């Protein structure tokens, strides 16, 4: 195939004052007229079954895939050192919570956790399987600066991904996660959007080829003072690119899950949107961009408070949707848990109960039956961090 170039400079923004020039796409100028072959190798049936298991009524994903450095920040907030033993103790608390499988269908792990066991020698993967929770694994290698962009980033990790996925599958993982981000205050540039979409598509194809359901996560960061309409505009452009390249890479849509951010105003915008408004704009995005073949939309919380994330999810499930609209929360499931635990063995039971409370609340939200009555003050505290990385 002939080489192709971006016909717009990196300073070309998506939306805003300088609308995206569709000619800036890195798509070839001339295409063969043919029907693409959609395939995922010998794992297609298993991939579809895995997505159905994860996207099951009243259940969602617990994301505990923070890097060791980020997990260390969480531990430091309660006065604990960032040691493997302390990380193991915290993740053991989460993954051995009895009854968690009633509300959680999948757990995204960091590589260290996938290979760890409890202090009694039981593999964490086995703990999850006993609760009928599908083990997952973060496979990207993090964000790095994107040369030629407006101070934006790209996600690395494609090198060696196939062999890593094969090893993770052997260890018991059945789905994967790859997170990249798009920043509205930085433009976003056409270059950054193309890079995000292409990277996600290549990862998804590689993961499916090795038996792992790919969670596709292009996060539109909350940073900025823009209105909700601007978020929708950018998200529509990003998702258009993502699904174009997923199709170009022959990714089986029935064998993927999406992890988008909700469509909200920028965190610094002067007007706060209601759950009903966020649901309206988010569902508008999904209906315009996401094929109904995709089984599940597992939203990230993106720095919202525990209660906000649950209220917004509940508002989106007040009507019928062609997809399973659910959650894949990290901080919005763990914040109260961590503060309840405080690193003390005598607090483990209380912390596990706190996890079940939050998991059940989001389970009810997935079913459209959640009420915020009786929520704690801790659950109402926002967790947005400007320029958040993990």
Could you please report the per-residue DSSP string of 116-128?
A: -B-TTS-BHHHHH
Task: Give pLDDT, residue 15.
Answer: 47
Catalytic annotation, residues: 217, 259
Is 381 among the domain residues? no
37 assigned to some structural domain: no
- 87 located within any domain: yes
Q: Quick check: 237 pLDDT over 70?
A: yes
- Does 4 reside within a domain? no
Lowest mean pLDDT among 26-30, 215-219, 362-366: 26-30
| CB hemisphere CA count around 366 (13 angstroms) | 29
**At residue 228, does pLDDT exceed 60?**
yes
Q: 339: phi > 0 → left, psi -120 to 50 → alpha, else beta; which?
A: alpha
Instruction: State the pLDDT confidence band at 389, using cuts at 50, 70 and 90.
Output: low
> Mean pLDDT throughout 383-390?
48
Share of the chain above pLDDT 70, in %: 85
Positions of E strands within 292-387 = 296-299, 324-329
> Total structural domains in the chain?
1
- Inside any domain, residue 374: no
| pLDDT tens sequence across 84-112 | 999 999 999 999 999 999 999 999 999 99
CA distances from 211 to 140, 180, 206, 277 (A): 16, 22, 9, 38
Question: What range does the domain containing 200 cover?
Answer: 45-367
**What value does the mean pLDDT take over residues 381-388?**
49
With a cut of 80, say whether residue 20 has pLDDT above it: no
Assigned domain for 18 exists: no
Is 42 a residue whose pLDDT tops 60?
Answer: yes
Res 222 pLDDT > 90: no
Length of the chain counted residue by residue? 390
For the domain that residue 60 is a member of, what is the CATH number? 3.20.20.70
Using the predicted structure, report yes or no on whether residue 317 has a pLDDT greater than 50: yes
Residue 189 included in any domain = yes
49-59, pLDDT tens digit by residue? 999 999 999 99
How many whole angstroms separate alpha carbon 339 and alpha carbon 193? 37
* Residue 185 placed within a domain: yes
Q: What is the pLDDT of residue 386?
A: 52
> Which pair of tokens denotes residue 127?
């703990």
Q: Which residues pair with 135 in a beta bridge?
A: 107
Query: 243-295: per-residue pLDDT in tens?
Result: 999 999 999 999 999 999 999 999 889 999 999 999 999 999 999 999 999 99
């Amino acid at each position: 195939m002939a080489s192709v170039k971006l016909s717009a400079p990196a300073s070309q923004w998506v939306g805003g004052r300088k609308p995206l020039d569709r000619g800036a796409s890195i798509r070839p100028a001339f295409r063969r007229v043919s029907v693409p072959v959609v395939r995922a190798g010998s794992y297609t049936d298993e991939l579809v079954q895995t997505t159905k298991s994860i996207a099951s009524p009243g259940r969602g994903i617990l994301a505990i895939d923070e890097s060791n450095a980020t997990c260390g920040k969480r531990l430091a907030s309660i006065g604990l050192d960032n040691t493997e033993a302390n990380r193991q103790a915290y993740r053991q608390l989460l993954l051995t919570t009895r009854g968690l499988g009633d509300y959680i269908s999948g757990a995204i792990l960091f590589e260290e956790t996938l290979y760890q066991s409890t202090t009694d020698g039981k593999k964490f993967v086995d703990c999850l399987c006993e609760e009928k929770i599908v083990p997952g694994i973060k496979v990207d290698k993090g964000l790095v600066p994107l040369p030629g962009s407006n101070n934006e980033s790209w996600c690395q990790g494609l090198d060696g991904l196939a062999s890593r996925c094969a090893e993770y599958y052997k260890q018991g993982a059945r789905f994967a996660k790859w997170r990249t981000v798009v920043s509205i205050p930085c433009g976003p540039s056409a270059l950054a959007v193309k890079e995000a979409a292409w990277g996600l598509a290549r990862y998804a194809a590689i993961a499916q080829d090795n038996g792992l359901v790919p969670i596709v996560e292009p996060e539109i960061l909350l940073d900025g003072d823009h209105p909700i309409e601007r978020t929708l505009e950018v998200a529509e452009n990003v998702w258009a690119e993502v699904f174009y390249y997923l199709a170009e890479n022959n990714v089986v849509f029935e064998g993927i899950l999406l992890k988008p951010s909700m469509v909200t105003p920028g965190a610094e915008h002067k007007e706060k949107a209601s759950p009903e408004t966020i649901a309206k704009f988010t569902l508008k995005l999904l209906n315009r961009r996401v094929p109904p073949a995709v089984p599940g939309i597992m939203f990230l919380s993106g720095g919202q408070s525990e209660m906000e994330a649950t209220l917004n999810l509940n508002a989106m499930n007040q009507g019928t949707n062609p997809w399973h609209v659910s959650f894949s929360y990290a901080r919005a499931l763990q914040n109260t848990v961590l503060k309840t635990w405080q690193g003390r063995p005598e607090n483990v039971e209380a912390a596990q109960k706190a996890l079940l409370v939050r998991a059940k609340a989001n389970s009810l939200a997935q079913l459209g039956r959640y009420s915020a009555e009786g929520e704690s003050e801790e659950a109402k505290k926002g967790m947005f961090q400007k320029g958040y990385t993990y």
